[in-house]
Amino acid sequence: MHLSRPDLAIIQNWIQPNSRVLDLGCGSGDLLDFLKQKKQVHGYGLEIDDQKITECVAKGVNVIEQNLDDGLSNFKDQSYDVVVMTQALQAMKRPDLMLEEMLRVGKECIVTFPNFAYWRCRFYLAVKGEMPVSKSLPHTWYNTPNIHLSTFRDFEQLCKSRNMHIIDRAVGNSEHESHWATNLWPNLFGEVAIYRVTR
């Protein structure tokens, strides 16, 4: 079996065998299914989409219907090794509180989000004067679920101000392919990033 989404392939490298994992916005459970089979990970996915919840159940992935904006108060402090959230932080009502919650429940967390300072976004806004629409940000401003877009620099500043430590970072294009330019100047050339954060 393999993971079709490249970000998930990177994430799974950062997760130790036999760990306890909470996957926030787990979709149809591909990551947890992979981790369960390849790394004997025990975990739960939280999801609100009916269809995806059923897909998880059909795969045998533990899935719990829960709205992430309501917080994680039903999970105890430091009860998971890793809390993962892919492509959803920017859709949270309060991404900062979400991050705090993730680090309360988990020993470390892994988040991925699109970079609003990516050169195409900057170009789109500067030249067209419109909110950028791209592969990683496919919605228009009025119907987008992405209500808290940020840049890599914004995110890193948030982490710093809250005493959160970034252990790892992988930057790439929407396919998560790395390029020399993304490594040299990530906030301009990186389209999406995966951060691994701890206290």
Which residues of the shown chain bind other proteins in the complex (CB under 8 A)? 20, 42, 44, 50, 53-58, 60-65, 74-76, 79
Task: Tell me the C-alpha distance between 146 and 133, whole Å.
Answer: 12
Are the CB atoms for 25 and 88 separated by under 8 Å? yes
Per-residue 3-state assignment (H helix, E strand, C coil) for 49-62: CHHHHHHHHHHCCC
Nearer to other proteins, 70 or 138 (CB): 70
- Least distance CB 181 / other proteins (angstroms): 43
Least distance in angstroms from the C-beta of 164 to other proteins: 25
Q: Kindly tell me which of 54 and 157 has the beta carbon lying closer to other proteins.
A: 54
Of the pair 70, 127, the CB lying nearest other proteins is at 70
Determine the 3-state secondary structure of 94 from DSSP.
coil
**Least spacing, CB of residue 42 vs other proteins, in Å:** 6
State in angstroms the smallest separation of the CB of 196 from other proteins.
23
Q: Taking Cα atoms as reference points, which of 10, 48, 5, 6 lies closest to residue 26?
A: 48
Amino acid symbol at 146 = N
